Structure 1
Amino acid sequence: MTVKVVLLEDEELVRSGIRMILESAGDVEVVAEDTNGARAVELTDRFRPDVVLTDVQMPKVDGIEVVRRLATHPAAPAVVVLTTFDVDEYVYAALRHGAAGFLLKDTPPRELVNAVRIAARGEAMLSPKITKRLLTDFASGGGSARAKARLAELTPREHDVAVHIGQGLSNAEIARALVVSESTVKVHIGHIMAKLDAANRTQVALVVHDAGLS
């Protein structure tokens, strides 16, 4: 299956480089691109991408606004935010608003392609290199009690699955760890997202982190 990507990046050299990397994979196609997020909804309506890869800082409409606009779209794609900085409060805000994850612009080509594939599957896509730093620096300490109270609404097995999501495990890895099928894991994740009112796995991971469990 080909992963369709809309690429939003204001720097032409960076944009062309990312497009070349993605399309060299063979199973990823950049179906549209633009220099800012003003047409994000229009491009999503027209091309029905699996992933929108967007720079966080762009003129007119930035990456955070792209996340906000697409979060409620009927055919909402996974939105992955690109950033130049190791720790970026804008990226954290994007995650809070429903982004599937983020990448550094200097991410190695193979990791970039793999990250897009992961996001297209609906799984959390957080750069291992900086996830811990970003969450530690920007997560609200005062949210710990609230996060624990929200997790208390889960069943014991759902709680286990949520913790594994917070640790960055894929569905397959969670299934192996809990000795259940991937389909069972997907059912649990659906229940977890509903109970936590989470738009995606990344928001589940943030609740787990805020509770001090990752």
Structure 2
Amino acid sequence: MVFTLYGNPMSTCTRRVGIVLMEKKVPFKFVPIDFSKGEHKSPEYLKKQPFGQVPYLDDDGFIVFESRAICRYICDKFPEQGTPLVPTGLQAKALFEQAVSIEGSNFDQFAAAAAAEKVFKPMKGLKGSDELASTLLDTLGKKLEGYEVILGKQKYLAGDEITLADLFHIPYGSMLSRMGFNGLEENPNVARWWKDISSRESWLAVKDGVKGTA
């Protein structure tokens, strides 16, 4: 059975999964969830995703949510298909897990929180905090100094091959310039890495909205 992905076409987490489906060349059906109609809070939706968030994946009745967990599931199910995104050797896997942790601890929590203030709240007609966003982005800029060191020694965060850890950055990273943050372009190694990952065909296929391929 073909995967069915339920999500909002433009949500950051839905597009994160879309990138990996494209990299792994996995056909999938897409069911768009309309936030304006509250479809993500409907009783039927909450049976599958109890937090009322997007996306979730249906694999012939097996339901998995949380975008990073979905991405790992896709890679585990199709290890030999498409781009290898999760290393298997002991040390390579350790460096991969390290890189995944870096994304969650040193990038996502700052970029996502800043986006909430500068992008998502205004979209809902709410006033975001420019002061909080500025603090978050300043911190992110300092975190990217560590990225610069790592990426000065290797092509990607976990080594010289691209992994999920790199791809996880793209949806929120693509929003940073809209918030007046240019940290991804200011340091040469980070800039080289960002240009590489953000120009991949997988991202270009979903950046303007996820669509099914089956």
Q: Same fold (TM over 0.5)?
A: no
TM-score, structure 2 length as denominator?
0.25
Give the structure with the larger helix fraction. Answer: 2
Higher strand proportion: 1
TM-score (norm 1): 0.25
Higher RCO, 1 vs 2 (CA within 8 Å, ≥6 residues apart): 2
